[in-house]
Structure 1
Amino acid sequence: MKSVLGLFKRSGRGPAPGEGTDSLMFSTAFMEQGLDAGMLVPWDARAVEVGARRIPASQGGRLLRGLWSKDKFMSRLSPEAMERMERFFEYAVVPADRDIVRQDEYSNWMVVLLSGSVAVDRVQPWGEHVRLAEARPGDMLGEMSLLDSGSRFSHCITLTECEVAVMDPRALDEMMANDPALAASLVGLLARKLSLRLRAVSARVTDNAR
């Protein structure tokens, strides 16, 4: 199992936390939640569980650049900044009908969907199953948990074979240590996207309450 997990370990992306990386802000966020590290589900383990196959960074990075260049927010990154950011992601293909994210679990990585489609569902407290959305290429999943290591709000399952780019907190901390301007840009853009999403959800809740 350990050797298989090693296939998804980061290679050529600089030192691991504690080995020359100055920031551990995101890697240790789970402790602020009062969680034991054993409660977290890392991407390495989920990748093996769902049968993900790693794809070359050149292939994944090209897809990521193409999608983000058309995104209202992420396109604010310069082409050179996007190229620098590519190395902080891992890229993989996930088969259809696989749980990428499970509701209420604790994990701390985000996924950018590069191809295919993903169902975003939620089981309400009273037992109702709700389809919240169907993610398409360019959509992000789980960025809130990347930032705070909180529990997942929804359940994400691949409807087709999907290519994905994954960023975990170690990579984000590495970016903060080695390319802080790039990290600040990414966190700022993620915060803006999350803010607008929360405002849209609040507006729907308000309308439904009338």
Structure 2
Amino acid sequence: MKGILGLIRQATPASAVGDSPADTFFFSTAFADQGIDASSMVPWEARANEVGARRLTAGRGIKLLEELWSGDNFMARLGPDGLQRLEKFFDFASLPANRDVIRQDEHGNFMLVLLSGSIAVDREQPWGDRLHLTEARPGDILGEMSLLDSGLRFSVCTSLTDCEIAVLGAQALDEMMQADPALAACLIALLARKLSRRMRAVSARLSEKQS
């Protein structure tokens, strides 16, 4: 944790230290730093408009997030105070059923937490079929892999019912790193652990399907 916190504390804007104009450590600039055209980026604001998402009050959103993450072995380590401090960095929204909130092989700079409802996570195959990987439950996190490594989305995530979600974008994560580095370090470490566990499970399932 000390190592992650140290990196975050070093991630000051380039203008403050007189270095290059773009600091590649920051999540909001990482896509451009890797040569990804901004026109190919799908930010949450664009996807929200496309799928007809509606704003959810922060009060309800953070209450649901606290209830769900307080029972999660990983995210509960943020503690009640940390969960409350997350409110200023998250957007909260309601999402209709049958909407692709995340699409495979696109560049997206946001992750989401499912607060209520159900979302299917599928992998589109080259021959056109969809391999069903899992069904996300309230409290589950989706899209964090692309947010953390600026890579392409691994799967398509489709709402099966009306859903409520919490959304964290790259810009908001950068703001958290500057305004509350201890909270950001904890969140990133916990996301990495959850992501590693999930990818191991997905890899095992894909191996079973191919055998």
TM bucket, shorter chain = 0.7 to 0.9
Following superposition, the deviation at residue 209 of structure 1 comes to: 6.8
- For structure 1, the residue ranges without an aligned partner over 5 or more in a row are 1-16
1:29 is aligned to: 30
TM-score w.r.t. length of structure 1? 0.85
1:5 is aligned to: none
Q: CA distance change for structure 1 residues 19 and 109 in 2, over 3 Å: closer, same or farther?
A: farther
**What does 1:32-71 align with in structure 2 at a 5 Å threshold?**
32-71=33-72
2:19 is aligned to: none
Superposed CA deviations along residues 130-170 of structure 1, whole A, max 9, x for unmatched, are 11111111011101111122111111111111000000000
Following superposition, the deviation at residue 128 of structure 1 comes to: 2.7
1:185 is aligned to: 186
2:76 matched to 1:75? yes
The answer to whether the 8 Å contact 2:113/2:166 transfers is yes
- For structure 2, the residue ranges without an aligned partner over 5 or more in a row are 1-12, 17-21
Q: CA distance change for structure 1 residues 129 and 206 in 2, over 3 Å: closer, same or farther?
A: closer
2:106 matched to 1:105? yes
Superposed CA deviations along residues 163-204 of structure 1, whole A, max 9, x for unmatched, are 000000001000000100000000000011111122233444
Q: CA distance change for structure 1 residues 135 and 206 in 2, over 3 Å: closer, same or farther?
A: closer
Superposed CA deviations along residues 111-143 of structure 1, whole A, max 9, x for unmatched, are 100000011111112333111111111011101
1:201 is aligned to: 202
The Cα RMSD (Å) is 2.2
The answer to whether the 8 Å contact 1:108/1:150 transfers is no
The answer to whether the 8 Å contact 1:122/1:154 transfers is yes
Q: Percent identity?
A: 61
**What does 1:137-156 align with in structure 2 at a 5 Å threshold?**
137-156=138-157
2:119 is aligned to: 118
Select the structure that is richer in helix.
2
